[in-house]
Amino acid sequence: MKTIAQICIVMVLCAQAAVAQTATNKATIRDLYENILNHRQLALADSIVAADYTNQQGLKGVQAFKQNLAGLLAAFPDGKWKVTAIIAEGNTVIVKQQMNGTHTGKFQQIQPTNQAVVVDGIAIYTFRDGRIIHSEVLTDRLGFMQQLGVIDRDLSAAIDKVNKGHEQGQ
């Protein structure tokens, strides 16, 4: 009977440790959005991103993490992020986010448009030993490009072009 009680105690302690780590991971992500993104404290990434971090494009290391953010912040210097939901399970934290900003710097291959954007997205962060080892951000790219004026908001011309191509056997 004593052994069963000991096993139960160990299981409870392990469960409590897992809950505590999940809460810590969520707090780390809140810190990422508030301090690193909204207050532009990129140096703080050194304390929350693992040296072997990899992003969805396969870029590696803390510098890759910071370079992606620096490019985004340069293109949208007034950008502000809002976490609208956060869910954590084990070593994974999922965030529903919204970014508001004005495109005043070059973003990827797009010259500044001076357009204000509101972009919703989902970010998935994977942790190991309290640090981010992987991230993947999925956003409404079509809506984003339409807000920038890169893609027409009225897609009927593009649809007509595709339909005409099918009619002609292309």
> Does a structural domain hold residue 8?
yes
Rounded CA gap, 49 and 10, in Å?
A: 30
pLDDT for the residue 74: 96
How sure is the predictor about 27, in pLDDT bands with cuts at 50, 70 and 90? very high
- Give the single-character DSSP code of 56: T
Place 117 in a pLDDT band, splitting at 50, 70 and 90: very high
Does the pTM exceed 0.85? no
Q: Which two tokens stand for residue 26?
A: 């969520």
CA atoms of 142 and 146, how far apart (whole Å): 6
Q: What is the pLDDT of residue 13?
A: 47
pLDDT value of position 118: 98
Domain-located, residue 163: no
pLDDT digits (tens, 9 = 90+) for 31-56: 999 999 999 999 999 999 999 999 88
Please name the residues in contact with 122: beta carbons below 8 A apart, sequence gap of 6 or more.
94, 95, 96, 97, 137, 138, 139
Which pLDDT does position 155 carry in this prediction? 80
Centre a 10 Å sphere on the Cβ of residue 120 and count the other Cβ atoms it contains.
15
Count structural domains, the chain: 1
24 vs 40, 46, 56, 65, 139, CA distance in Å?
21, 17, 23, 20, 25
* pLDDT-based confidence at residue 166 (cuts at 50, 70, 90): low
Asked if residue 170 is part of any domain, the answer here is: no
Q: What is the DSSP string of 91-144?
A: TEEEEEEEEEEE--S-BTTBPP---EEEEEEEEEEEEETTEEEEEEEEE-HHHH
- 162 assigned to some structural domain: no
Side chain identity at 86, as an amino acid letter?
A: I
Segment 50-107, tens digit of pLDDT: 999 998 888 899 999 999 999 999 999 999 999 999 999 999 999 999 999 999 999 9
**Residue 166 maps to a domain:** no
Does 136 score more than 60 pLDDT?
A: yes
- Domain at 51, CATH number: 3.10.450.50
Q: Is the pLDDT of residue 137 over 70?
A: yes
Q: Which domain holds residue 126?
A: 2-154
User: Nearest 5°: CA angle at 70, between 121 and 27?
Assistant: 55
Query: Is 161 among the domain residues?
Result: no
